[in-house]
Amino acid sequence: MSAVTDPHDLVDKVVAELPERLPAQRWFGGKDRPVTSVRPLRTTVLGEDPLLVHLVVEVAQPDRRAPYQLLVTDLAEDYDATADPELAGRLLDLVAEGAEVDGLRFAHEPGVELEAGLRGRPITSEQSNTSLVFGSQYILKLFRKLTTGENPDLVLHRALHRVGCEHIAQPLGSITGELDGEPTTVGMLQQFLPDAVDGWAMATTSVRDLMAEGDLHADEVGGDFAGEAQRLGQAVATVHADLERALGTQRADAGDIDRTVRNMVARLDSVVAAVPELRPYVPALREAFDRARDTPGAVAIQHIHGDLHLGQVLRTVQGWLLIDFEGEPGAPIAERTALRSPLRDVAGMLRSFDYAAHQLLVGQPEDHQLAVRALEWSRRNRAAFTEGYAEAAAESVGDPRGRGYLLRAFELDKAVYEVSYEYANRPEWLTVPLSSIARITGEGVR
Amino acid sequence: MAEDPRPDAALTGLEGVPHTGEAIGADGLLVEPQAEDFRSAKLAPREPGWFKGAVFYEVLVRAFSDSNGDGTGDLRGLASRLDYLEWLGVDCLWLPPFYASPLRDGGYDISDFRAVLPEFGSVEDFVYLLDEAHRRGIRVITDLVLNHTSDAHPWFQQSRAEPDGPYGDFYVWSDDDQRYADARIIFVDTESSNWTYDPVRGQFYWHRFFSHQPDLNFENPDVQEAMLDTLRFWLDLGIDGFRLDAVPYLFEQEGTNCENLPRTHDFLKRCRKVVDDEYPGRVLLAEANQWPSDVVEYFGNPEVGGDECHMAFHFPLMPRIFMSVRRESRFPISEILAQTPQIPDGCQWGIFLRNHDELTLEMVTDEERDYMYAEYAKDPRMKANIGIRRRLAPLLENDRNQQELFTAMLLSLPGSPVLYYGDEIGMGDNIWLGDRDAVRTPMQWTPDRNAGFSSCDPGRIYLPVIMDPVYGYQGLNVEAQLNNQSSLLNWTRRMIEVRKQHHAFADGDFADLGGSNPSVLAYRRRWRRPDGHEDIVLCVNNLSRFPQPVELDLTEHRGARPVELTGGVRFPTVGELPYLLTLPGHGFYWFQLVESGDEGETR
């Protein structure tokens, strides 16, 4: 390994090489344009031998600057300290000790006692952050792209834990740094659930089973998911109710709804300008968004998950859990922490069922029978999820089916977002949101 | 019946055979056969805790082998097949009731605890069976119904005829039918009340099951003594234990549901004390079809390693295994095991895939019933199998891979496995025989007449042998499978043998290893040997019909090497990364984890 021993030499070296290395990092959110420069914002030495340095850098790109968090060492060729089980374990020890190192504060939640001395290993499924698992007990999420202030993921987890929510992984600790002179969450430690499987894997297992049958319907095959979907609906509704208990609820006024609809229309306009395939649906979409204004009764707004889909839920032996309350990572923090209708989360899950149903068909030659099966699966599980949600929904939210126009608008808004995402990233998948839009706008509200 | 004053008038076929109520003593007590009247069997070797690692085999005497050509299996016939059971690796036979009985409830309506149903043989034949079994290292337990008797039992006949006699208080009598209103009716299909009026005595009697099965009155100390003496009778003859039927219902108490009452547990502790003091090494197995967290009560006080039953059946696991494979999801199994509490040191679960009863959802918690119905009620194929009796092979559509997967789980999940006769050769059922008898057809031994079960005229056989083209005895029988090395029978025997080589299967603790693939159920059994070393077995089961990968977190065993148990193949050493395995559809692995440096497999 390299003979660098002085932390400043190491940081200089890392920073010099970062413009080249960053685009290859999975968590790097700026792959769409070149990196113009990287400069260190804060350097905290967490260990001398071997060297372990916490580093916050500012990454400059054309029209964009963003702070990112790194943990570096001279032990590894690529300087990545999170891949080293011993160094990763050091982070847990610091949280367990409640240490503070040059303004970087490691803390466990009140009343929590942590077992130190465990080795850490990164999990491979993480996209925009890096998560380290210790033994089979803890998981530490290191936020890569930093946002000034307390991270909503930590805030909402704490609030939910306070009211005894059973559908989250218990928050156990945090790491707080400083950014723009403000305390800023850089890491969150949680209970790890070794038995957990994410909802996407569960759902696609079921879809695969259905697709392998020639002549059986979605309600006849062994891998039926409806029971799980229903329990998942109950879990999501319970989390919403717990968030309401913990952080309150408000009634949206006409102005709020008008703003919501205008945002939907604005998104539609900008997407359709880039994606001509969306054009035929514009009149129907506009009408659907407008109809959201007709929602009867008061619409509750509160803290919600904000980016709910099957990849954000875990099946454990205790039932379904929700994870990652960060909101849409790409959205500005103000939007991520704003009060919004819980129906947005419901719509997100409904969209996700559509995706799970169709994912095996993408890129395959067209097969009418399989397309029918996918639609069956989607309908069956969307209905079961909604049923489950209605069973456990808080009074302020009620049965989503009683808010059909609003729910449909949220779902279509999400689908429009998907169109822009797929167009830019996975053109083969564009048919999934487009065919959903065609179907939903063609069906009306039931 | 009331016209005939003899107390044994309702017993049939016992003329000339010792039985209860042949005579009445001067004290008004019935004369009952005593163990000293018979020769006793040589006892099985003393080996406390034998049941923790034993492979049980449920065998219906009627269905296994007919020694005298009358078309019905018998105790001597069963004894003649013990070489086969020894070869298979069976450690203990479980015989459903073979007592004298009018057979209105499959023999669970016992009319004399101290006589054998004549068509099965005699007490002497039973002792012969015990001797022959013990000689081969096989133990024998049988069902004993504590809660009630048949209404043909001489005790009941005396009780109804002479309310003031010594048996007058042996049953629960009442002038009206209003007491214990909170107790549910178990057989709602046939019974409208737990009370039935007896015109002979002019009172109502209490029964939790059929109206022809009056409940014994355990409030009466004489009843408790009489039942303890019943246990002693068979234990003196050499029997290795009892499966105690319907234990939750022994006592009644106003204002309760009359189940699992503290005094019921007190009586079971008395039974246990008799076993411990007078018959050490014998076993009590509770049949309490309830939720595991309630069933553990029947093991008794954990601080003394359990002081009620040594074993209890784990009922909810079985339907969960079926659901897991159907759903291709490990969660139904993982959930129920996560909800299963620790049991006292000296105790063990009994687990099974099939038995003589149906795939039942009864007697579980409301929540569990909702869960099962939510899953099954929407699923016509599973729903069709609820409440009826099917054998393992037809339930799995005769899929060999699934039969192996199910059996591998039965042999490796925590608990002593109970095999159902015939499932080791993949026998079929005959649904045209009706609910009860579909899974009780004669054991298929050979392609000869009556499947080698009996030499009788085929018209005389108690139930027709299976003759359909898939499961028919001409092709599917023990003889044919013995001669075929790749048969299910030889495979099952091999797996039982492997299981016995690793005490971790019997007594190891259990850890669900989770993993990212919902279709793969992986678990670890770990047993600390007396010498301080550990026997660690890793079981990985693919519940899906499609090939699957799985990454297992084995970091705790970094540096260990998995050695596959059926072939001894050494797999790559466990490293820092999750351990990757791929499994074929419905495939499974059993590994031993061997510390690096060790040579090969250790036991």
List domains and CATH numbers for chain A.
7-191 (no CATH), 197-443 (3.90.1200.10)
Higher pLDDT, B11 or B359: B11
Q: Residues of B with CB below 8 A from A230's CB?
A: 374
Contact A220 B380 (CB under 8 A): yes
Same domain membership, residue B548 and residue B402: no
Q: Stretch B304-329: mean pLDDT, rounded?
A: 91
Q: What per-residue confidence (pLDDT) applies to A1?
A: 47
> Is the CB of B177 inside 8 Å of chain A's CB atoms?
no
Distance CA B494, CA B588 (A): 15
Q: Would B408 be classed as within a structural domain?
A: yes
Probe site for chain B from A123, A136, A195, A220 (most B CB atoms < 10 A): A195
Q: Would B325 be classed as within a structural domain?
A: no
> Is the CB of A220 inside 8 Å of chain B's CB atoms?
yes
Domain stops at, among B459, B485, B511 = B485
Higher pLDDT, B325 or B374: B325
Contact B518 A212 (CB under 8 A): no
Q: Residues of A with CB below 8 A from B379's CB?
A: 219-220, 222, 224
Q: Residues of A with CB below 8 A from B544's CB?
A: 205, 209
Residue B12 corresponds to which tokens in the numbers above? 């049939």
Contact B331 A222 (CB under 8 A): no
Same domain membership, residue B99 and residue B228: yes
> Is the CB of B513 inside 8 Å of chain A's CB atoms?
yes
Q: Residues of A with CB below 8 A from B397's CB?
A: none
What confidence tier does B374 reach under pLDDT thresholds 50, 70, 90?
A: low
Q: Catalytic: which of B112, B125, B245, B307?
A: B245
- Mean pLDDT is lowest, of A190-199, A365-374, B208-217, B372-381, for B372-381
What confidence tier does B383 reach under pLDDT thresholds 50, 70, 90?
A: low
Q: What per-residue confidence (pLDDT) applies to A2?
A: 47
> What DSSP line would sit under B453-505, residue for residue?
S--S-GGGSSSPPP-STTT-TTTSSHHHHHT-TTSHHHHHHHHHHHHHH-HHH
Contact B517 A197 (CB under 8 A): yes
Same domain membership, residue B390 and residue B254: yes
Same domain membership, residue B426 and residue B308: yes
Instruction: Tell me the pLDDT tens digit for each residue of A385-441.
Output: 999 999 999 998 899 998 889 999 999 999 999 999 899 888 899 999 999 999 999
- Beta-carbon count within 10 A of B342 CB: 9
Residues 6+ apart with CB under 8 A from B470: B398, B428, B476
Q: Would B176 be classed as within a structural domain?
A: no
Question: Which among B327, B334, B514 has CB closest to A222?
Answer: B327
Q: Would B460 be classed as within a structural domain?
A: yes
> Is the CB of B430 inside 8 Å of chain A's CB atoms?
no
Q: Would B306 be classed as within a structural domain?
A: yes
- Mean pLDDT is lowest, of A29-33, A305-309, B10-14, B580-584, for A29-33
Q: Residues of B with CB below 8 A from A377's CB?
A: none
Is the pLDDT score of B600 beyond 60? Answer: no
> Is the CB of A294 inside 8 Å of chain B's CB atoms?
no
Contact A194 B553 (CB under 8 A): yes
Contact B379 A222 (CB under 8 A): yes
A216 to chain B, minimum CA–CA distance in Å? 11
Distance CA A211, CA B222 (A): 66
**Average pLDDT over all residues of chain B:** 91
Is the pLDDT score of B375 beyond 90? Answer: no
> What DSSP line would sit under B140-158, residue for residue?
EEEEEE-SB--TTSHHHHH
Is the pLDDT score of B51 beyond 90? Answer: yes
Same domain membership, residue B107 and residue B230: yes
Contact B555 A219 (CB under 8 A): no
The nearest alpha carbon in chain B to A225 belongs to: B327
Is the pLDDT score of B385 beyond 60? Answer: no
Residue B327 corresponds to which tokens in the numbers above? 């759903």
Same domain membership, residue B123 and residue B261: yes
Q: Residues of A with CB below 8 A from B335's CB?
A: 317
Same domain membership, residue B558 and residue B434: no
Percent pLDDT > 90 in chain B is 76
Distance CA A397, CA A402 (A): 10
Percent pLDDT > 70 in chain B is 93
Instruction: Tell me the pLDDT tens digit for each residue of B508-524.
Output: 999 999 988 999 999 99
Contact B546 A208 (CB under 8 A): yes
Domain stops at, among B455, B485, B515 = B485
Contact B326 A222 (CB under 8 A): yes
Distance CA A150, CA A185 (A): 5
Q: What is the DSSP letter of B579?
A: E
Instruction: Tell me the pLDDT tens digit for each residue of B217-260.
Output: 999 999 999 999 999 999 999 999 999 998 999 999 999 999 88
Q: Would B121 be classed as within a structural domain?
A: yes
B245 is catalytic: yes
Instruction: Tell me the pLDDT tens digit for each residue of A311-356.
Output: 999 999 889 999 999 887 667 777 777 778 999 999 999 999 999 9
Q: Domain of B245: which CATH number?
A: 3.20.20.80
Q: Domain of B588: which CATH number?
A: 2.60.40.1180
Contact A220 B379 (CB under 8 A): yes
First to last CA, chain B: 62
A271 to chain B, minimum CA–CA distance in Å? 36
Instruction: Tell me the pLDDT tens digit for each residue of B105-158.
Output: 889 999 999 999 999 999 999 999 999 999 999 999 999 999 999 999 999 999
> Is the CB of A180 inside 8 Å of chain B's CB atoms?
no
Instruction: Tell me the pLDDT tens digit for each residue of B317-335.
Output: 988 898 899 889 999 999 9
Is the pLDDT score of B77 beyond 90? Answer: yes
CB < 8 Å from B in window 344-383 of A: none
> Is the CB of A202 inside 8 Å of chain B's CB atoms?
yes
Is the pLDDT score of A33 beyond 80? Answer: yes
Q: What per-residue confidence (pLDDT) applies to A334?
A: 72
Q: What per-residue confidence (pLDDT) applies to B363?
A: 46
What confidence tier does B187 reach under pLDDT thresholds 50, 70, 90?
A: confident
Domain count, chain B: 2
From A196, A141, A165, select the one nearest A326 (Cα to Cα). A141
Instruction: Tell me the pLDDT tens digit for each residue of A292-303.
Output: 888 777 889 999
Is the pLDDT score of B498 beyond 50? Answer: yes
- Beta-carbon count within 10 A of A420 CB: 19
CB < 8 Å from A in window 325-344 of B: 325-329, 331, 334-335, 338
Q: Would B216 be classed as within a structural domain?
A: no
What confidence tier does B340 reach under pLDDT thresholds 50, 70, 90?
A: very high
Q: Catalytic: which of B125, B287, B307, B358?
A: B287
**Average pLDDT over all residues of chain A:** 91
Is the pLDDT score of A444 beyond 80? Answer: no
Q: Stretch A104-132: mean pLDDT, rounded?
A: 90
Same domain membership, residue B466 and residue B527: no
Q: Stretch B200-227: mean pLDDT, rounded?
A: 96
In this prediction the ipTM stands at: 0.78
Same domain membership, residue B551 and residue B449: no
- Mean pLDDT is lowest, of B107-116, B236-245, B283-292, B582-591, for B283-292
What range defines the domain where residue B441 resides?
50-145+221-318+344-358+385-485
Q: What per-residue confidence (pLDDT) applies to A54?
A: 96
Is the pLDDT score of A442 beyond 90? Answer: no
- Beta-carbon count within 10 A of A14 CB: 24
Q: What per-residue confidence (pLDDT) applies to B496?
A: 98
> Which residue pairs from A420-423 have beta carbons closer than 8 angstroms and sit at least 24 positions apart in sequence?
A420/A270, A420/A271, A420/A274, A420/A275, A423/A274, A423/A275, A423/A277
B3 is catalytic: no
Residues 6+ apart with CB under 8 A from A6: none
Q: What per-residue confidence (pLDDT) applies to B322?
A: 87
- Check: CB of residue B94 under 8 Å from CB of residue B418: yes
Q: What per-residue confidence (pLDDT) applies to A286?
A: 96
> Is the CB of A196 inside 8 Å of chain B's CB atoms?
yes
Higher pLDDT, B548 or A77: B548
Q: Residues of A with CB below 8 A from B516's CB?
A: 125, 197, 201
> Is the CB of A86 inside 8 Å of chain B's CB atoms?
no
Q: Would B581 be classed as within a structural domain?
A: yes
Probe site for chain A from B317, B322, B323, B329 (most A CB atoms < 10 A): B329
Same domain membership, residue B306 and residue B254: yes
A261 to chain B, minimum CA–CA distance in Å? 38
Q: Which residues pair with B359 in a beta bridge?
A: B386
Q: Residues of B with CB below 8 A from A192's CB?
A: none
Is the pLDDT score of B601 beyond 90? Answer: no
Same domain membership, residue B479 and residue B517: no
Question: Which among A121, A208, A224 has CB closest to B576?
Answer: A121
Q: What per-residue confidence (pLDDT) applies to A201?
A: 92
Q: Stretch B348-372: mean pLDDT, rounded?
A: 69
Contact A202 B516 (CB under 8 A): no
B303 to chain A, minimum CA–CA distance in Å? 28
Q: What per-residue confidence (pLDDT) applies to A30?
A: 83
Domain stops at, among B423, B454, B485 = B485
> What DSSP line would sit under A122-179, residue for residue?
E-SS-SSSEEEEETTTEEEEE-SB--SSS-HHHHHHHHHHHTT-SSSPPEEEEEEEEE
Q: Stretch A73-92: mean pLDDT, rounded?
A: 92
Percent pLDDT > 70 in chain A is 97
* Distance set, CA B580 to CA A208, A431, B517, B587 (Å): 22, 34, 11, 15
Is the pLDDT score of B579 beyond 50? Answer: yes
Same domain membership, residue B564 and residue B437: no
